[in-house]
Amino acid sequence: MMDSGFDRRDFLKVMGWGGAAAALSGCGNTSIENGKETVVSYVEAADYVIPGIGVYYNSTCAQCDAGCSINGRVREGRVLKLEGNPASAINRGRMCGLGQAGVQHHYNPDRLREPLLRNGDKGEIITWEKAYALIAEKLKGVSGEEIAFLSGGVSGHLKVLLGNYLASLGCKNHFVYEALAPGVVRAANKKAYGVEMPRYNISKAKVVLSFGADFLGAWVSPVHFSQQYAQFRRSVDGQRGVLIQVEPKMTLTGANADRWVPIRPGTEGVLALGIINALGTSTGEIAAAVKGYDRARVSKETGVPPGQIDKIAAILKLRSPSLVLAGGAAEGYAHGSQNAAAINLLNHVLGNIGKTVEATAAVPFPQMAPAKGNTAALKSLNDGLAAGKYKVLFNYAANPVFTAPGALKFKDNLAKVGFKVAFAHYLDETALHADLVLPLDSALEDWGTLVPEYMAEGAQINIQQPLMENLHPNTRGIGDILLALLKQRRPEEYKNYEDYYAYLRTALVQNKTAFGGHAVDDETFWNETLTKGIVKLPGTTAALSGRAGVAGLKLPAPVENDEQYPLQFIPSVNISLRDGRNSNQPWLQESPDPLTTIVWDSWMEIHPKKAAELGIVEGDIVEVTSRVGSIKTQAYLFPGIHPDAISIPIGQGHEAMGRYAKGYGVNPFQIMDAVFDRETGELAMHETRVRVSKTGQRVIIVKDESAAGAKQIREKIAARVSTDNVDLSKEV
């Protein structure tokens, strides 16, 4: 806001005239420069290198864990643009905005360029030799028990190398941590279907009932699901698929749904059992278990009108097969496992198993299968840190100082470790607390193999290869670093591998028969593999073995009204910022949130009714207080949220990580309670309760939508119909 005496309009007028005058005076032929720029030619050029013409390489996207295959355009040795690789069954040539921004990870001006050793508050540049020697020195006399390795999800040959390194140290403390992993759903799926991630056939379903699974936005494999969704909407046999989304805060998927059902946070499981009851098709123990969940009770507990429950049951009965999904919003509670189990039970009752919930293929090399990240690992690491168990901590691809709930006091516990090594791309919050920071190659410079968790079709191994030479000469690939560290421990075993590339090549070529390369020589096989960027495997299919069971299914009564903290806090997942690891990519910061159109900042979503009650208007700076702490951000009135909940997107509020991340917005993890799912020990992200108070300040929210535009849309395009007056069966 401008507080000076100058009127904005006057200011713009004068600047306009100024611009015109400057343009006039600048006219002439002065824009052609001669002999100023250097034009550097190649010393030796390969035949296929033509300046101005792109060359394309296949690799794998590393922006999230979905494992989409990418195809990068490289011109004059620089990667310019990424697109999807059509040969991959996961993304079939498509790509999301998050993936597109991968070049900004690579060219990020805040990337680490040299190994840094802590010297007081400063990082001192050291050589790699010194860094490796230092690690060897610090590991001397330290038992395996006293070493911990924290990483994000790892798979492929990197996982094998990492496992070997830890074995060489005698260390069994490998913590695989992902802040936003569907850990509870995996466990519930394992019970209900026999596999952690079955293949969800959205395209074959005639109704999709999703309990908070934002599969079009940020859930598991969104690019793949979006394509499935497109087919689902086009329909195979003339019936356009119907999507019903049940969640307390509207996600992108919720915004696309035919019916969006706001539900009281945490009661998703109750609604699922209520629907089973309303279907009335189950018998035996299931019927007995859902007997108590009649319309009146379910409606009272969930806040979903009885008519809605009937409509959902009616359409599920009418159309088969359907598909029921349990997602992030349903699992984030202390009874998250119960919620997920109740929702999965619905798939059994509806007979969807084997039709839309299918067996999945696994890579026949179990040692390469992904080590899936979860949040239970964070808790056990944190407990160990608090007890002072570890003398040396390695950290790769995880930023727990940023993503651990404030109640865990992770930062303080981290300080108890004697020597902390971080392998990092940026000086993020966790790397900032490390004693030794080793700079990594970007995902577009590194070698690797990746096995995606969600297999779209048959099993596949994705190849990651450099799209260009190292931008900064002193960064190293994580594989190369692990190999160098392994050579310290087991020099005999690894002396034949000059670098990680040699290791990968040997590993793949040795097994070429298994990878479908039996008919060709090594060189051809290797080149073909790199050209395709994917190794497709016959794969072993894990049959679905779980059965419908209600044993142990027990849903708690909804929370009583809490006087002190009356609102449920929903940390929402933005489709591009996710857990905050990509927040330093300005394309993602400036792409508006799909539902609120807000950019470069955090906001608190609150229902207009609740806001009126509290006297909050859009732009009010509010203080959101939980038992753990408080944060201040701008309020945004949003009808797509349950009145008893508020929501703040995660991913913002960095205190480090460079110019595009630091200082924008607030970090909702800071006020998160440390409540864990009772069965799996996963962090219950939605269990924090808060109160909201005004601070008296007000700002203009920076967003793309305008008040005038929204009004026009309401008046001219869409007729407003109250949700309850819509007859769902007629719409179908």
Partner 1 sequence: MHRFLRISVLLTGLIAALSISAAESPQATPMTEDSLGPLVEQPIEFPHDRHAGDADKGGMQINCMYCHTYARRSAVAGIPPLQKCIGCHQSIESVREAPRIKKLFEYWEAKKAVPWKKVHDLPDFVRFNHERHIKRFIEQQNRPFQEACGYCHGNVKEMTVARRSKALSMGWCASCHQKDHLVTAEGGTPVGGQAYWYTFYKPDTAVGSAEGLKAKGPNDCWQCHK
List residues near partner 1 by CB under 8 A.
5-7, 10-11, 13-14, 17-18, 21-22, 25, 28-45, 50-53
CA dihedral 681, 683, 686, 692 (to 10 degrees): 130
Minimum Å gap between C-beta 27 and partner 1 is: 9
Minimum Å gap between C-beta 82 and partner 1 is: 20
Minimum Å gap between C-beta 391 and partner 1 is: 47
DSSP 217: T
Minimum Å gap between C-beta 70 and partner 1 is: 24
Gap between the Cα atoms of 573 and 580, Å rounded: 10
Minimum Å gap between C-beta 80 and partner 1 is: 14
Q: Is the CB of residue 403 less than 8 Å from the CB of residue 429?
A: no
Minimum Å gap between C-beta 31 and partner 1 is: 5
Q: Which is nearer to partner 1, 34 or 561 (CB)?
A: 34
Q: Which is nearer to partner 1, 52 or 696 (CB)?
A: 52
Q: Which is nearer to partner 1, 41 or 722 (CB)?
A: 41
Peptide bond into 321 cis (omega under 30): yes
Minimum Å gap between C-beta 469 and partner 1 is: 14
Q: Which is nearer to partner 1, 47 or 523 (CB)?
A: 47
Q: Which is nearer to partner 1, 78 or 300 (CB)?
A: 78
Q: Which is nearer to partner 1, 28 or 120 (CB)?
A: 28
Gap between the Cα atoms of 363 and 322, Å rounded: 28
Q: Which is nearer to partner 1, 27 or 718 (CB)?
A: 27
Residue 692: other Cβ atoms inside 10 A: 22
Q: Is the CB of residue 575 less than 8 Å from the CB of residue 220?
A: no
Q: Is the CB of residue 379 less than 8 Å from the CB of residue 176?
A: no
Q: Which is nearer to partner 1, 7 or 590 (CB)?
A: 7
Q: Which is nearer to partner 1, 25 or 496 (CB)?
A: 25
Per-residue DSSP letters for 346-390? HHHHTT-BTTTEE-EEE-S-GGGS-B--BSHHHHHHHHHHHTT--
Which residues 6+ apart lie within 8 Å of 703 measured at CB?
592, 596, 597, 598, 599
**Cα–chain-centroid distance for residue 325?**
18
Q: Which is nearer to partner 1, 50 or 236 (CB)?
A: 50
Residue 558: other Cβ atoms inside 10 A: 16
Minimum Å gap between C-beta 49 and partner 1 is: 9
Minimum Å gap between C-beta 478 and partner 1 is: 30
**Beta-bridge mates of residue 621:** 634
DSSP 202: G
Minimum Å gap between C-beta 76 and partner 1 is: 9
Q: Which is nearer to partner 1, 42 or 713 (CB)?
A: 42
| Burial (CB count <10 Å: 0-12, 13-18, 19+), residue 514 | middle
Gap between the Cα atoms of 130 and 603, Å rounded: 45
Q: Which is nearer to partner 1, 15 or 288 (CB)?
A: 15
> What does residue 178 show for φ and ψ, rounded to 5 degrees?
-125, 130
Checking DSSP bridges between strand 116-119 and strand 322-326, what pairing results, if any? unpaired
HEC readout, 140-168: CCCCHHHEEEEECCECHHHHHHHHHHHHH
Minimum Å gap between C-beta 15 and partner 1 is: 8
Gap between the Cα atoms of 426 and 438, Å rounded: 10
Minimum Å gap between C-beta 24 and partner 1 is: 10
Minimum Å gap between C-beta 55 and partner 1 is: 12
Gap between the Cα atoms of 732 and 726, Å rounded: 11
| Burial (CB count <10 Å: 0-12, 13-18, 19+), residue 703 | middle
Checking DSSP bridges between strand 357-358 and strand 360-362, what pairing results, if any? unpaired
Q: Which is nearer to partner 1, 76 or 623 (CB)?
A: 76
